[in-house]
Amino acid sequence: MKHYNKYFFLLLSSLIIASTVYLSGCISSPETTTGKLAFQQKDFEKAEIELSKGLQTDKEDIEAWYMLGVSRVEIGKYEEARIPFEKSKNAFANEQLNYWILKYNDGIKQFNDGLSSRKIKDSLGAIRNFDKALRSFKSTTIILPDSITAYQMIGDSYSYLGKTDSALLVYTSILDKSKSKDDAINIAKIMYKNGIELRQADNYEGALTIFKRVVTINYLPKDNTYYETSVFNIGYCNYALAEKAVKDGKDFKPFLNEAVNSLEPLSTTLKDKDLLSATYEILINCYDALNMPDKKDEISKKKLELQK
């Protein structure tokens, strides 16, 4: 999920696509024969209909199964293509790999077109291109289901389309397989953005839920900026909820204690001076409200030293 080096095209070592798959010499049903001829002519709708009929009797025609898988992808019946590709994957492994590369490259071109549209602020063009890319990348996961790269691009496409929940589902499934720090950071980035939006809308309960999820993401380094700022925002949101509790005449201390529990450890590890200063400021206010003068004085001195 490294955007700076990912959106490149793959080369086909020996491109074998629809137009070059040979017709086998075995005796086939009229429907299968008609379907194969339609396939060669790239009439994928007709090929899909005829091959589906023919394979009811020609169950061992592996070439027909492969052609049916391609035909279904080409007409957008992605899920229905899964079984045909599964049946043909051993005998047609090279063909399926090259077809995967072809569809992957289609997706890359469409994705890059989406990025170009965003650059010139053509929002409708960007949506159209990212949506095309999404369909292409989804098709690759049917052709070769175990490609993490394709799933990463699906997640990125969802992200650029503004479908954050869908992107997070994809990224999380990738993280379970890859156990990658970079994947964890990408998930944290999206979730953190959502948390900030909720916090800015004064939805502190919702924001708190998001930030707590960020800090529990597997493989996310604890010195990463999204981890540290999420911990800070856990403290910030609890402090804001304490202020709200005071206005509502409710017990504010549990929120302040939560803020302190989050921010005290953070104050000993932070390197960012601005964030550290803000952390000190909230802690000072928490200690004051909780009647903890010694701790308030200690943090106040640290804040003064930081400003020197």
pLDDT of residue 83 exceeding 60: yes
Percent share of the chain, pLDDT over 70: 91
pLDDT of residue 58 exceeding 70: yes
Q: What structural domains does the chain harbor?
A: 18-92 (1.25.40.10)
pLDDT digits (tens, 9 = 90+) for 180-210: 898 899 889 988 988 999 999 999 999 999 9
Distance CA 99, CA 195 (A): 40
Residue 146: the pLDDT is 80
What average pLDDT does range 118-145 have in this prediction? 94
Q: Which amino acid is at 76?
A: G
Handedness of CA 41, 42, 45, 51 (dihedral sign): positive
Lowest mean pLDDT among 37-41, 52-56, 84-88, 184-188: 184-188
- Find the farthest-apart pair of alpha carbons in the chain and give their distance in angstroms, rounded: 92
More reliable by pLDDT, 70 or 194: 70
Structure token pair of residue 220: 């996310």
pTM for the full predicted model:
0.67
pLDDT of residue 61 exceeding 70: yes
What average pLDDT does range 101-120 have in this prediction? 94
- pLDDT band at residue 12 under the 50/70/90 scheme: low
CB-neighbour burial class of residue 213 (10 A; exposed 0-12, middle 13-18, buried 19+): middle
- pLDDT band at residue 6 under the 50/70/90 scheme: low
pLDDT digits (tens, 9 = 90+) for 25-47: 556 789 999 999 999 999 999 99
